[in-house]
A = this chain, B = another copy of it.
Amino acid sequence: MAAELIKGLPIAKEIRVEIAKDVEALKAKGVEPTLAVLLVGDDEASVVYAQSKVKVGDGLGVKVDLKVMAADASQEAVLGQIKAWNADPKVHGILVELPLPKHLGKEAIMEAIDPKKDVDGVHPVNRGYLLGGQEHLALVPATPLSCVALMERAGIDLTGKRVTLVGRGDTVGRPLASLLIKRNATITVCHTRTKDLAAECQRGEIVVAAAGFAGLVKKDMISPGATVIDAGINATPDGKGICGDAAPDVEEVAAKMTPVPGGVGSLTTTIIMQNTIKAIGLQGLGK
């Protein structure tokens, strides 16, 4: 029997309705939600992501101020732009599209962003609030938040569930671990050095694949009835499309599964807008 698909778009739409209401309320109080996006160079995926933010923001009444800098922009120029946005009370969210050109110092740039405007959750202070269990103060990266939103809004109760995370990266695996612990799941974090990945996955009532390897999670690694959340975004072998970390036939054993494309990735831009609204609250505006 094929798994019930947990599709991203309907859930994104649901969240967008909530955001649109928040935007309306903020505008009535004189706050025009504004997200500043910095794109350095012309990395193909980054251009698409940046444009998607402009479009989604447009539909929600969130102003997206997209600034494009040349691929050879200096560290000083990038930091100067961030400082200007930090100081601008009309800018509520700041996001730098990654990856950055290699000559730029990524860490210093991430740390230059005002933590209260850091809607991508890349500043150490925001990661620290997350690890410290102070999620209400934290701006959290969009992909792990999307994974949680998909599960919660698909009616999956996380309390006491055994969740196997495949992947320990700093953008998905580790922040997601903190989110899930907070939601009372019993988590196991697996990675390239895990001895028996199949056994760890088979124990999972929920398996989250976030390793960045196409087809890593195979059908025989999933217990019948499990939920599979696929946060992988990989190029297909022919280079023409994208696919997840779970092999396609996982769908034959899982009870519920997020598709790729059309699952986790369909939510992230919406979550960035939700983070922008949260940022406005953290800045003490709109009250």
Contact = CB atoms under 8 A, between A and B. Distances in A.
B178 A186 contact: no
Most chain B C-beta atoms within 10 Å of own C-beta, residue among A125, A130, A131, A184: A131
A107 B128 CA distance: 12
A131 to B, nearest CB: 4
A63 to B, nearest CB: 29
Interface in A162-196: 162, 168, 170, 174-175, 177-178, 181, 184, 186-191, 193-195
A200 interface: yes
A126 B125 CA distance: 8
Interface residues of A, number: 34
Interface in A126-159: 126-134, 159
Interface of A: 107, 123-134, 159-160, 162, 168, 170, 174-175, 177-178, 181, 184, 186-191, 193-195, 200
A159 B194 CA distance: 8
B189 A177 contact: yes
Contact of A189 (B132, B187, B195): B187
